[in-house]
Amino acid sequence: MKRNSKIWWGLALAVVSMVLFSCAKKEDVVILGEFGSLTGGTATFGKSTQRGIEMALEEVNKAGGIQGKPVRIVVEDDQSKPEEAATAVKKLVNQDKVLMVLGEVASSRSLAGAPICQEAKVPMITPSSTNPKVTQVGDYIFRVCFLDPFQGEVMAKFARNTLKTSKAAILKDIKNDYSVGLAQFFTETFKNLGGAVIAEESYSEGDIEFRAQLTSLKAKKPDVIFIPGYYTEVGLIARQARDLGITIPLIGGDGWDSPRLIEIGGKALENTYYSNHYTPDDPRPEVQKFLADFKAKYNEIPDAMAPLGYDAARIAFDAIKRSGILDEKNIKDAYRQNTQAKSLMEAINTPGNRERIRDALAQTKDFPGVTGLITIDENRNAKKAAVVLKIEDGKLKYVETISP
């Protein structure tokens, strides 16, 4: 009886092993990774971006996936810290073995993750990191947003030509690549247009007291103050500036864009302006459909990070499809070359296939994104227009569009 029992259990284990192997073999799921600031000082950036990516993911899977293959996205929270961003990307690339990576919003955190993707030859798309250095890391790093040189130019032109100012002051985050770069590009264009940057002060992300810097700037009597920072500090800066009697326009970049900005700054944000990637007032069908779907799902109007995340994910899906790596013949060849592969990802996630995705991304042209038509140039950047928004009565008001 014992001998028969052992034989029975042996057969049972063999059958179970075969079933498990068969199931693993049939896991036809395409896996991508995402890293973002879901907690920490700029958590609204990560959460909003993730919502946009989730909408794109739901849409593609509802439509049958990419060439019939469902898509899954592994999400890692970098806590708004560059060092955590590097750790998150290492996990996605080395442990989760994702086919592509989406993220980050902040340039400093993208610069922490990009070298890891580049070394592993895993394509990475940042939805909204605008510092030029990000895509300069290597040929596997892409973005779907405009760059800081253009954004700095936009706000310098707006300050000089629309607001008719001639003397500008700058208050920048000295430890933030985004802020430092944007300040530099604003200064260059403002001077070229005949204006003068007469004063410059700095702070560090996480600071809550700015009165000393603002008092110094006020003494120089500028016509406008450019604050290329993130919403958390900008809201406090605006309140303290108004408390000190500074009534001139405060202007900035897309780092201002968050519902939290107005919650923090309140009425102090009247007579302030910033550049952004899109406006909900845009009548294009792509914009209005996205707005309607987003409001139905989340019951709010999205900031720019959501449509940028949405566009980045959709471009990623489109590139995978155009790359041909999910064609039936390519999949069969992949399994034939890797007979030990227990899943679709194990079979197709090869350097050659990731290179094909990279090439498809580089060939993206006139993609109809919510944030505009997106064409990837020879430096893996997107050439797009920017809009200038005004904060008025606690709401955002479209002012003008400035094209490259």
Residue 329 has pLDDT above 90, yes or no: yes
In the predicted structure, residue 25 carries a pLDDT above the cut 90 = no
Which pLDDT does position 27 carry in this prediction?
A: 78
C-alpha torsion sign, points 351, 70, 366, 146: negative
Q: Which residues contact 211 (CB under 8 A, 6 or more apart)?
A: 240, 243, 244
Asked if the model's pLDDT at residue 7 lies above 80, the reply is no
- As a whole number, mean pLDDT of residues 132-160 equals 96
Domains and CATH numbers, the chain: 30-146+284-384 (3.40.50.2300), 148-276 (3.40.50.2300)
Counting every residue, how long is the chain?
404
- DSSP annotation of 379 reads T
Can you give the pLDDT at residue 303? Answer: 94
Work out the pLDDT band at 322, boundaries 50, 70, 90: very high
pLDDT at 17: 41
Give the least confident one: 220-224, 250-254, 279-283.
279-283
pLDDT of res. 26: 52
Q: Burial-class residue 252 by CB neighbours within 10 Å (0-12, 13-18, 19+).
A: buried
Residues 6+ apart with CB under 8 A from 289: none
Q: What is the pLDDT of residues 291-317, one digit of tens each?
A: 999 999 999 999 999 999 999 999 999
Looking up tokens 């999205």 gives 302
Residues 6+ apart with CB under 8 A from 221: 167
| Of 134-138, 279-283, 358-362, the least confident | 279-283
Distance CA(122)–CA(263), nearest Å, equals 38
248: Cβ contacts below 8 Å, ≥ 6 apart: 222, 223, 224, 225, 271
Least Cα distance to 226 among 178, 278, 168 occurs for 168
The whole-number average pLDDT for the span 343-350 is 96
Query: Looking at the predicted structure, is the pLDDT value of residue 401 above 70?
Result: yes
State the residue for tokens 């993730």. 50
- Dist CA 342 CA 338 (whole Å): 9
Statement: residue 13 has pLDDT above 70? no
Q: In this predicted structure, which of 12-26, 112-126, 262-276 has the lowest mean pLDDT? A: 12-26
Tens digit of pLDDT for each residue in 191-234? 999 999 999 999 999 999 999 999 999 999 999 999 999 999 99
Is the pLDDT at 156 greater than 80? The verdict is: yes
Residue pair 52/103 in contact (Cβ under 8 Å)? The answer is no
Q: 123-141: per-residue pLDDT in tens? A: 999 999 999 999 999 999 9
Q: Which pLDDT score is estimated for 20?
A: 41
Give the model's pLDDT for residue 304. Answer: 95
Largest Cα–Cα separation, the chain: 98
Mean pLDDT of the chain: 93
Q: What DSSP string runs through 180-200?
A: HHHHHHHHHHHHHTT-EEEEE
Q: Quick check: 24 pLDDT over 70?
A: no
